[in-house]
Amino acid sequence: MENITEMLKGVLEGCVLEIISRGETYGYEITQRLRELGFTEIVEGTVYTITIRLEKNNLVNIEKKPSNMGPPRKFYTLNAAGQEQLEIFWRKWEFVSSKINELKTIKIKRREVK
Amino acid sequence: MENITEMLKGVLEGCVLEIISRGETYGYEITQRLRELGFTEIVEGTVYTITIRLEKNNLVNIEKKPSNMGPPRKFYTLNAAGQEQLEIFWRKWEFVSSKINELKTIKIKRREVK
DNA sequence: GATGCTATTCTGCGTTACTATATACCGGTA
DNA sequence: TACCGGTATATAGTAACGCAGAATAGCATC
């Protein structure tokens, strides 16, 4: 899918929160999950800027663990604030996406009338 | 709805394209349509930056008409490029929103299993 | 020791929506 | 006349976000 960058603004962070909420995970793995989801163009750098932001905003707990696959991993889990932020995200998504779909539906209706 | 600014990035322009596609309209009226849709916080300035961008990218035709309600209005209609851009927007929206909803659905499934 | 995968970090960039303000036309009204 | 509110456009500056690109590092395998 061509250049969906702008449309991901404001939702990618929510996706990362959601993925972390499933159980502790780290940046590289989150990137892979997002690619599996279909956002195949996502690169590590993008995810790391998000996780660093989550750290800054105190939405996650962090634990560093060694790995036998490479350098140590930084595992993230959601704290209470992160959980709340995730719920807010889904509420916003419900609101915005329903409005956009309404606009789209009305469009179809109008076209049927034509 | 509290602070949906970031989530509107990349979709607001598409909404404006869609509204224009219904028939010629002008900035102030577009703002009102968006407010009616539910995006009540949208102000004129936001819409004007979008319409000016549409002009710059040659996606619209422009016609200035006098009004007896105030200063002259700049009426916009979509040209072929604008129509195409609108279709691209809806394709992107379908893609992104379906992926996000998939993530959400899986979430619910997992919770049911618990 | 070279290559490749895993894994994190950082800097700078471009795009976008928003804020705030200015300008202007018109009608009503005090 | 002067003022105000609604209609209407414009624009400079700001903040936030996702992304590109590069550097660094650990481990396995050849």
Residues A60-98 have pLDDT tens digits of 999 999 988 889 999 999 999 999 999 999 999 999 999
In angstroms, the CA of B40 and the C1' of D3 are apart by 29
Number of domains present in the structure of chain A: 1
Whole-number Å distance between alpha carbons of B43 and A77: 38
In B18-91, the DSSP E strands lie at 25-26, 60-65, 73-78
Residue B80 and residue A37: Cα distance in Å, rounded? 33
Higher-pLDDT residue of B62, A106? B62
Higher pLDDT, B33 or A1: B33
CATH number assigned to the domain comprising residue A106: 1.10.10.10
Token digits of residue B69 = 């309600």
Chain segment B55-68, per-residue pLDDT in tens: 999 999 999 998 88
Residue A25 DSSP label: B
Sign of CA dihedral B88, B92, B98, B104: negative
Strands (E), chain B: 25-26, 60-65, 73-78
Range of the structural domain that residue A14 is part of: 5-113
From the CA of B34, how many Å to the nearest CA of chain A?
10
Nearest to A25 by CA among A80, A62, A70: A62
Q: Which regions of chain A does DSSP assign to beta strands (E)? A: 60-67, 70-78
Which residue minimizes Cα–C1' distance to C15?
Answer: A6
Residue B112's pLDDT band, with cuts at 50, 70 and 90, is low
Give the residue from B100, B105, B106 with the most A CB atoms within 10 Å of its CB, the best one to mutate: B100
